[in-house]
A and B are shown apart, each in its own frame.
Chain A
Amino acid sequence: MEAKLSLFSAYENIELAEKVLADLARSFMDEEGIYWAAMALREALANAIKHGNKLNPEKRVLVTIHLEEERELRITVEDEGEGFDPSQLADPRSPENLLKEHGRGVFYIRHFMDEVSFGRSATGGSKVELVKRLSRRST
């Protein structure tokens, strides 16, 4: 089962993508599992809209949600920005970063999902792929 969304760079669209994920996953995952996957999707989309496309309404974010029963949930989020280097991200738990306003999004994504990988989208922007492995009824 798969859904593909092409979204304008507006925060309101995060709600839409979250709803599509929840509707799609309802038969395969429990409420808790959907909640945390949706939180990861929110963070990835917010990054794409804000840091990738810099809120430019003419730029799109492409979201693909792919579900294989009892196997995995795979989400990709692609933007039309300039890409970024995830190795440059600091640990938000370090004492010097603890009270910083920004810099926790990717850390949360990694915590909520089983696998996270970063690459380049077809337009040269960022592409992030999130995987949650599913058991019979996954959390």
Chain B
Amino acid sequence: MKGSFRDVQGVRILDLSGKITIGAGDVELRRLVEEALAAGKNHVLVNLKDVTHIDSSGIGELVACFTSVKRRGGAMKLLNLPPKINDILQVTQLITVFDVFDDEAEAIASFAG
């Protein structure tokens, strides 16, 4: 997995691509979220547009990151879910846990509310 970040209107946007899978992608996701929290950014938007695969370890890491951001008084939301990643979140009903957006501006605005 490749990951980079942008800060837009106080929101840390993580642009991820490739595979969020055991042993590599999941570790990188955790590192990016920990880095955001260490920088005082607790409004995190995870852009999954170019993510091709996510396994149960990647899903577990998404959930763990969601919980740790929330524990710090912030929020983590998802942007641009590809259909297969959406299916994977649907199967385990995690789609009900995350706020999911298709529009970046709308997602950023939602953190202010």
Contacts and interface: CB of A to CB of B under 8 A. Distances in A.
Interface stretch (A58-66, A92-100, A123-131): A92-100
Size category of the B interface is 20 to 34
Given A11-B23, A108-B91, A111-B91, A43 B63 contact: no
A85 B50 CA distance: 37
Contacts of A11: 21-24
B56 A108 contact: yes
Interface of B: 21-24, 53, 55-57, 59-61, 63-64, 66-67, 84, 88, 91-94, 96-97
A120 B84 CA distance: 32
A111 B56 CA distance: 12
Nearest to B97: A98
Given A99-B63, A99-B67, A100-B63, A93 B92 contact: yes
A98 B61 CA distance: 13
Size category of the A interface is 20 to 34
Given A99-B97, A107-B91, 11 more contacts: A11-B21, A11-B23, A39-B53, A42-B53, A98-B94, A99-B67, A100-B60, A101-B63, A102-B60, A104-B56, A105-B55
Contacts of A105: 55-56
A92 B66 CA distance: 17
Given A42-B55, A43-B55, A46-B57, A101 B21 contact: no
A111 B60 CA distance: 17
A51 to B, nearest CB: 11
Interface in A37-55: 39, 42-43, 46, 50
User: Which of B53, B56, B91, B96 is packed against the most chain A CB atoms within 10 Å?
Assistant: B56
Contacts of A107: 56, 91-92
Nearest to A55: B23
Contact of B21 (A42, A92, A102, A108): A42
Q: What are the 8 tightest A-B residue pairs by CB atom distance, in nearest-first order?
A: A11-B23, A104-B56, A105-B56, A101-B60, A93-B93, A101-B64, A46-B22, A92-B92
A79 to B, nearest CB: 15
Given A11-B23, A39-B53, A104 B93 contact: no
A87 B64 CA distance: 25
